[in-house]
Amino acid sequence: MNTQSLINEAIKARENAYAPYSKFKVGAAILMNDQTVFTGCNVENASYGLTNCAERTAIFSAVANGKGSGKIEAIAIVGDTEGPVSPCGACRQVIAEFSDENTKVFLTNLKGDVAETTINQLLPGLFSSKDLEV
Ligand SMILES: O=c1ccn([C@H]2C[C@H](O)[C@@H](CO)O2)c(=O)[nH]1
Ligand SMILES: [Zn+2]
């Protein structure tokens, strides 16, 4: 799947966002290394802190569908932001869990801005499974 198609999947997923509190809808789409695609949206809660972001929804969906041993080839995230949307710290760490140095991260918005980055740029010095090896 090409980048624009992945971004379009994220835009579609964003429509399903459950964001009655912030009204800030976010969509994410991930292309796994086996070429399967999973999408997610943010899901808020009256107990605000229980909110799950779009990126984590997409990744948890992939894992729930048997892709936990796979890697993310590309992820597209879209919000209605001035510039490309910026993933929160929790999502950066969760994206890192299923990424490698080749994972492409596309930060986008509804205006069509696209910024390509990497997990190492988003989360330098990240904690990973390597740190658990003794
Ligand atoms: O990258 C982001 C940033 C924010 N949100 C959600 C969380 C919350 O529902 C709303 C406002 O923070 O946007 C995401 O899903 N992804
Ligand atoms: Zn997040």
C-alpha dihedral (10, 81, 124, 96), degrees to nearest 10: -20
Nearest CA to ligand 1 atom 13: 24
pLDDT at residue 115, rounded to an integer: 98
Nearest CA to ligand 1 atom 4: 53
Q: Give the integer Cα–Cα distance in Å for 36 and 73.
A: 10
Sheet holding 72-79, edge to edge: 37-41, 26-32, 72-79, 104-109, 114-117
Residue 134 — pLDDT band, cuts 50, 70, 90?
confident
Ligand 1 atom showing the smallest separation from residue 54 Cα? 15
Kindly identify the ligand whose nearest atom is closest to the C-alpha of 94: 2
Instruction: Please indicate whether residue 94, judged by its CB atom, sits closer than 6 Å to ligand 1.
Output: no
Is the complex ipTM higher than 0.95? Answer: yes
Q: Which residues are catalytic?
A: 55
Q: Is 42 assigned a ligand-binding role in the annotation?
A: yes
Evaluate if pTM is beyond 0.80. yes
pLDDT digits (tens, 9 = 90+) for 73-113: 999 999 999 999 999 999 999 999 999 999 999 999 999 99
Structure tokens at 126: 């990240």
Kindly identify the ligand whose nearest atom is closest to the C-alpha of 24: 1
